[in-house]
Structure 1
């Protein structure tokens, strides 16, 4: 069985072989690809774009990788003819690479798996920021790159127009939440939808589990904060309330350092949202409470989860947050905004706590209750582990994936 994957990132193993920095996104694909490559009845080829001028091919650990020059769209058809796939699996609708292939080889069998939906997320991009907030914080970098927050939102909208075309051209949709099922149905009520959960990074399938005794008390962990949709500024507003009774509060933030690293170069590259965050931190006197960690490896992420008192997902919209799932499978107590597909992964007061996005007073209240142990954190932890293990069982996911691709191909 020949399967061609169209993806938006260069996989870690290929990145390392080329001397590139491994991507921090797309982790749900890597474990599935490894499992698939172990089966002799499937020949997996993974293709994406890069900045080179020629097609680049490599075979690593049983997987064939192909990189297509980003500016040469005609090569998608050539790759299809070379691989002769019986099924093409397009991972994510955020970019139009898969559309380029479909338009050149419409006779193929195509499956689209939903990651996020930019056409929907565009409406939530500013996450409650006012026009005044955006305009007051436009930076030199924003002007030079034509990339203030309004323009960034418009880029989402533009990509969303292309995204919607997928739903009329593919043979099946893969999703994992009630939210993505509803939006897939709204975009095309005739295309079959199949539920298939996602695997986590292999580092999180571990016997190491969170414990109250070993965590850093009054600390929270945020996995991303680089643009408004991730809702970090709402956490800062909540922290302003929490700090009054918990002055030793620590907020650890992974990912791109939205406020820069203090160098002149980073100041010149500071985005409008980064400037807004810097001002909020200064306004609420949180300079000693917020620690930006930068981009972390999977192992470093796991260590930070385990050390934290709480994991918070404050996004204005999410499909299924893999960060929430990583926290849950480790048993880290979770608080998340009640948005999108998050409600498919958290049962309120059983496997985590949910609050209405933007209601930072409720978020602050939950944080203090977690810190004061007015909530049974051990119960939350154990229940979350049970649910996450079931949801992200590699054996169950592989079996589901096999059944789905066979149905689509039949």
Structure 2
């Protein structure tokens, strides 16, 4: 049966209210008198609600997507008919039984196969899968969350309607590639450990993978007529690639856990520093280690806690075999500066565990060589945790220097150390800045306001 005929049958079954006809792509399909927008999301992960319905494991990453989905599901106005597509390693089990398509309430869910372990590789077969999804759902707008994976490019090619494509900028791979080395010594950049050699994943190769991802990213941005972002940095960078795309300012909503709770100095561990991650050079963990001698000269009890996987473990032979060149460099800094008891790797943390660590830390640092609008800073601001961050990318527009936190020139470890010391030497001022940051964050990351803004963007694109 013809694809459009199938689509019309499905629409007749799902929509019982009074209807009218409207032209779509030269054809006709039925829509209610109260015209709804058919929005197809392309996500980087399977949303937890979808995974739970299929009894599958899921990731807590990009938790803000769940927030938008829940608001949309509970919105009595029902302005949006939603479809969601997401990558899986393989279509198997219930996914395969249903050909990767099923209903979750009124939401149509689609799975597609993609190797997320090699995001630098483009798989043309995704275009065919997306073509099938697009024929089935017939969206008014395709909203793509992020440009980090090649499925973004595949979807823009499959849809082929730039004026109805909306890309939401998260990070920018091509910019990250340029900043990836983060002032590492050249010998560290070029060195390859056994693990690096076996996996063909030394630091130079890692940077090259970001460059390849960046090329796909640029092509996708050129194919889009609409872009959402939230910083001067992402606006300027995307404009260089596609000056004709319409840019919409769209603030992000954080994970719901971080809207409850408030940092209190007396309940934090004195002189404790928290980093949200540090397992590759761009995130700047080594800058903090280089700054520690100066920090310790003023505060000998200072300690650093780092969330995420440990790349410096060496307790077993397997750990030693798996160490990367960057991990080896971090271990050398820890050894040379006597920091063995001053660094604690916390492992992968849930949202609630992250929140607890924020609240018990006396200071949060974002030392990255480049960031657009890191959620970790937004989360720290919401909780009112004193923050120090590198002046890079979109951060200066997110955290006011001297009024909401302290910024330092990216890569300047002396200035980083001085900022940390300043926070601890003037705790009352630090608290004032943190409270100002908290008030701003509650405005910027207001979930209801951001949801209404999203609907406004959808309506404008559909006009």
Q: Normalization by structure 1: what TM-score?
A: 0.95
The counterpart of 1:248, out of the listed 301, 322, 329, is 301
Contact 1:37–1:43 (8 Å) recurs in 2: no
Equivalent residue, structure 2, for 1:123: 178
The counterpart of 1:210, out of the listed 263, 277, 281, is 263
1:320-331 pair list within 5 angstroms: 320-331=373-384
Per mean C-alpha deviation after superposition, the further-off stretch among 163-172 and 53-62 is: 53-62
Within 1, Cα distance between the matches of 2:47 and 2:413?
A: 37
- Residue 388 of structure 2 corresponds to residue 335 of structure 1: yes
Equivalent residue, structure 1, for 2:62: 26
Equivalent residue, structure 2, for 1:65: 109
Contact 1:171–1:408 (8 Å) recurs in 2: no
Flag structure 1 segments of 5+ consecutive residues without an equivalent: none
Within 2, Cα distance between the matches of 1:107 and 1:151?
A: 34
- How far 1:371 moved relative to its partner? 1.9
Equivalent residue, structure 2, for 1:147: 201
Per mean C-alpha deviation after superposition, the further-off stretch among 372-381 and 343-352 is: 372-381
- How far 1:172 moved relative to its partner? 0.4
Contact 2:190–2:204 (8 Å) recurs in 1: no
Equivalent residue, structure 2, for 1:2: 38
Per mean C-alpha deviation after superposition, the further-off stretch among 262-271 and 140-149 is: 262-271
C-alpha spacing 1:131/1:21, structure 2 compared with 1 (3 Å): farther
- How far 1:197 moved relative to its partner? 0.3
Equivalent residue, structure 2, for 1:269: 322
Structure 1 moving runs of 4+ over 6 Å: none
- Residue 100 of structure 2 corresponds to residue 56 of structure 1: yes
- How far 1:75 moved relative to its partner? 1.0
- How far 1:280 moved relative to its partner? 1.0
Equivalent residue, structure 2, for 1:13: 49
> CA deviation digits over 1:81-126, x for unaligned, max 9?
1111111001111112122122223147210010111011100011
Structure scoring higher RCO (CA < 8 A, sep ≥ 6) equals 1
Within 2, Cα distance between the matches of 1:60 and 1:316?
A: 41
- How far 1:60 moved relative to its partner? 4.2
C-alpha spacing 1:60/1:332, structure 2 compared with 1 (3 Å): farther
Within 2, Cα distance between the matches of 1:15 and 1:334?
A: 35
C-alpha spacing 1:273/1:17, structure 2 compared with 1 (3 Å): farther
C-alpha spacing 1:267/1:17, structure 2 compared with 1 (3 Å): farther
Q: What CA RMSD, in Å, does the superposition of the two structures yield over aligned residues?
A: 1.7
- Residue 155 of structure 2 corresponds to residue 111 of structure 1: no
- How far 1:144 moved relative to its partner? 0.5
- How far 1:20 moved relative to its partner? 5.2
Contact 2:188–2:325 (8 Å) recurs in 1: no
- How far 1:156 moved relative to its partner? 0.6
Contact 2:225–2:244 (8 Å) recurs in 1: no
Within 1, Cα distance between the matches of 2:370 and 2:225?
A: 27
Contact 2:231–2:397 (8 Å) recurs in 1: yes
Equivalent residue, structure 1, for 2:81: 43
- Residue 228 of structure 2 corresponds to residue 174 of structure 1: yes
The counterpart of 1:135, out of the listed 190, 196, 211, is 190
Three-state SS of the structure 1 residue aligned to 2:65 is helix
Q: Normalization by structure 2: what TM-score?
A: 0.84
Per mean C-alpha deviation after superposition, the further-off stretch among 231-240 and 70-79 is: 70-79
Three-state SS of the structure 2 residue aligned to 1:358 is coil
Equivalent residue, structure 1, for 2:450: 397
Within 2, Cα distance between the matches of 1:382 and 1:262?
A: 42
Three-state SS of the structure 2 residue aligned to 1:243 is helix
Paired residues, number: 408
- How far 1:170 moved relative to its partner? 1.1
The counterpart of 1:358, out of the listed 407, 411, 430, is 411
The counterpart of 2:149, out of the listed 95, 100, 112, is 95
Per mean C-alpha deviation after superposition, the further-off stretch among 286-295 and 270-279 is: 270-279
Q: Rg larger in 1 or in 2? A: 2
Per mean C-alpha deviation after superposition, the further-off stretch among 24-33 and 271-280 is: 24-33
Within 2, Cα distance between the matches of 1:385 and 1:67?
A: 38
Within 1, Cα distance between the matches of 2:147 and 2:420?
A: 35
